[in-house]
Amino acid sequence: MQIGKTRFVWGSRTYVMGVINATPDSFSGDGIVDPNAAAQQARTMVEAGADIIDIGAESTRPDFAPIDADEEWERLSLVLGAVRRAVRNTPITVDTTKASVATRAIGAGANAVNDVTGLQGDPDMAAAIAKEGVPVVIMHNQRGREFGGDVVEDVRNGLRRGIALAEAAGVPRDQIILDPGFGFGWGPVQNYNLMRRLGELRDLGRPLLVGTSRKTFIGYVVDRPAPQRVWGTAATVALAIQQGVDIVRVHDVEEMVQVARVSDAVVRGVLP
């Protein structure tokens, strides 16, 4: 898959996506609203080995306060511009649920869209992505849905709904990445069951992205606030790679790049 100027070869190694939250209310305590600070964070992440930078301007924490498209773009635009100038050759994904924001972000230098509603939040999103001709990350979001009794089957069905919406709008299947949506509507038991059985989702035939970084289900076990969950996150990253995940979305890039490289050496036989 081509994302921006970078060609991603799935299965060759694990790619690392660094998170920049352009919000004042990030769950992980790392919100950045100053464009210069965001640009420096992006440079630091790329120097540490990040393959992709993911920028979002609306919090998706469980108790988040929704904002409209104009406010989201006001937050996002300056940060996106600064990051694009700072890391000119690194792919950038925009984390948004709104078609109008996605379209404006792509025009301002974003290379792909990351939608935590799986294209089911804005009826215009799938068509906007198809029109722009960029890849999309489709996430399963369990919030507001009834648990069917099998976490993997619920996730699989949700991802299939997103794939169907994308393809119906004209997004080629080979432009789709899937995210099972850790933490989005699941309790600790379901999150750990999903982690244990993650490899079963390979049957969907698309690359998998996993975003477990600093999340509450890790804190449930290690009893640490979000910024101190780095080693709990490391365990989930290593286990995800063991099950064939292609991209890990993380806050602590330097540490997780090491985890990914050693895990790849074991799982994929990828050595320097």
In terms of DSSP H, where are the helices of 55-150?
A: 69-86, 99-107, 125-132
Tell me how far CA of residue 93 lies from CA of 20, 126, 223, 245, in angstroms. Answer: 10, 15, 31, 18
Cα–Cα distance between 167 and 120 in angstroms, integer?
13
Query: Which residues is 137 bridged to in the sheet?
Result: 114, 177
**Active-site residue among 13, 75, 98, 249?**
249
Cα–Cα distance between 3 and 157 in angstroms, integer?
26
Cα–Cα distance between 180 and 224 in angstroms, integer?
24
Contacts of 252 (CB under 8 A, 6+ apart): 213, 214, 230, 233
Q: Is 249 a catalytic residue?
A: yes
Q: What is the Cα Rg of the chain in Å?
A: 17
Q: Of 213, 214, 179, which Cα lies nearest the Cα of 194?
A: 179
Asked if 22 and 32 count as a contact pair (C-beta separation under 8 A), the reply is yes
**Active-site residue among 84, 98, 104, 215?**
215
Cβ neighbour number for residue 187 with a 10 Å cutoff: 15
* Residues labelled as active-site residues: 215, 249
